[in-house]
Chains A and B, each alone.
Chain A
Amino acid sequence: MRRKDMETERRRDGETERQCDGATGRLGDGVTERQRDGEKDRNRLSFSLSLRRLVARSPGRPVSLSPSIVRRRKWMRRALISLSLLSALCVAFFFALPALLIAPANVAPSDVILHFSISPQSRADEYVAELYRRSVARKIVCVSSQVSWELYPGDYAREHLIALGVPADDVISMRLPIEPCAAVNLPRIVEFVKSHGWRNALMITSPEGSRYAARLIPRYFEREGVAIAVSYAPEDKEELTRNWSRTHWKTQRFVGEVMSFTLDMFYSECR
């Protein structure tokens, strides 16, 4: 019954449209119909309708806009809104990087400190020496890969720690091969720790790598029965997060960490 009514209504609308188009030559009826339609839709917040009205009111312009243009504008508006939202999300994500990547420091008494935070900008040696003096651990291992020809920063960090008062017997430099991601070297480090009979380790890493390290590294250590905590030098965090979005090397480190973190998920050898 209702369908029949609708069909009748549609037929009547079609006739009215033809009248509006001037197909029948009875323009007066079409105008009346349009006015009635306008009244009916006045309260609707339809973009196409308001656009049509706007055009109809502007002097010297044709009365109607083709539906395809109206549809295209509607889609363009939607696309613009989506793009703006996406850009806002990207900006928010960028400025949230320090909060997302830096985990709370977790210092636990251990058998050994694994010192990974060896970089031109790091001041972690002093922090590691301080932890040693506070008897947080009995041994320190400086872990590094080659940065230039036969040049391992860990060797120099060891010398520096000795200069800071740590006995030479308690500091070891561990050289690792260059690998595409940290996870490839982790089994070697676990083996090294186990071979010395250490059951607890404290890893000192760079602040921006701390959350990822705290998520990834325990998986490798704990399945071999070695407990591990991840921390970083507070001075490094302070320096890294100060005015970071305006400093090239700081932004580069945060963005690099996000890239590493993301890429590692896609490659089985790095997970």
Chain B
Amino acid sequence: MAPFPLNKFRRSWLAQRGVFVFAFLLTGYFLTPFLLNKMAEGLIRDDRLVKADVIVALGGDNRCNREKRAAELYRQGWANNVVVSGIKYPWGFHTGDAARAYVISQGVPQEKISVIRDTLNTRAEAKALEALMRERGWNSAIIVTSAFHSRRATYTIEKTARDLTFYSSPTPTGHPEWAPRAWWTRRDDVYLTVREFISWANTLIGGWQ
């Protein structure tokens, strides 16, 4: 069999482009999982723990893993106060009260717990937290939230209260909680990850408040 003439190949526009596209697709195929994992890991901010004035469990976790982690940090002595957050439903119940009850059940004295109310999103939570910290004279806080939310939440809170200090200590990843590894294979993790990227874009451009 006669070998393919190299000169002809070099001159052939279609063949060159074809090889380039094939190489690109092949690289993409093997590189995509790695990049997607890295993108998801980029959502997490996990700071080295430092003693602070308050531990803040942000709202929105229907399994109460954030509150569980906050109670755990309190028991370990990282702060002397705990703040939980929630929203009000129309018939007189508040998810913040349920979170408070749960934190008490986890061994945190009720006089050490404060509730942030009527916080429909992270920015509203940040503003309410800043007001509470200034009122109580607290200067530093450990922010506890789900791992996928940790970087954005801490960024938003730091942006709101620039002179106060915040550390992020997210909940552990893994089923049934969100996990960054191969997140695209699980329906609920895909939803949370994609929504978090959209929320990041909204936060950065200062869109919907």
Contact = CB atoms under 8 A, between A and B. Distances in A.
A20 B67 CA distance: 80
A180 B120 contact: no
Interface in A224-264: 246-249, 251-252, 255-256, 259-260, 263-264
Nearest to B188: A180
A122 B90 contact: yes
B98 A156 contact: no
Contacts of A123: 90
B5 to A, nearest CB: 24
Contacts of A246: 208
Contacts of B91: 125, 156-157, 159-160
B183 interface: no
A149 B90 contact: no
Interface string B82-101: 00001111111101001101
Given A120-B87, A148-B86, A260-B191, A248 B120 contact: yes
B187 A270 contact: yes
Contact of B98 (A148, A255, A266): A148
A149 B87 contact: no
Interface of A is mostly: helix
B101 A248 contact: no
B16 interface: no
Interface in A160-177: 160
B198 interface: yes
Contacts of B101: 149
B194 interface: yes
A123 B93 CA distance: 15
A149 B98 contact: yes
A148 B64 contact: yes
B86 A263 contact: no
Contacts of B195: 255-256, 259
Nearest to B120: A249
B128 to A, nearest CB: 15
A120 B102 contact: no
Contact of B62 (A147, A260, A263): A147
B10 interface: no
A178 B87 contact: no
Contact of B198 (A159, A178, A255): A255
B43 interface: no
Given A120-B89, A151-B93, A248 B208 contact: yes
Given A150-B102, A153-B93, A255-B195, 7 more contacts: A120-B90, A120-B120, A146-B63, A156-B92, A181-B188, A259-B194, A263-B187
Contacts of B95: 147-148, 151
A119 B90 CA distance: 8
Given A180-B187, A248-B120, A270-B187, A120 B88 contact: yes
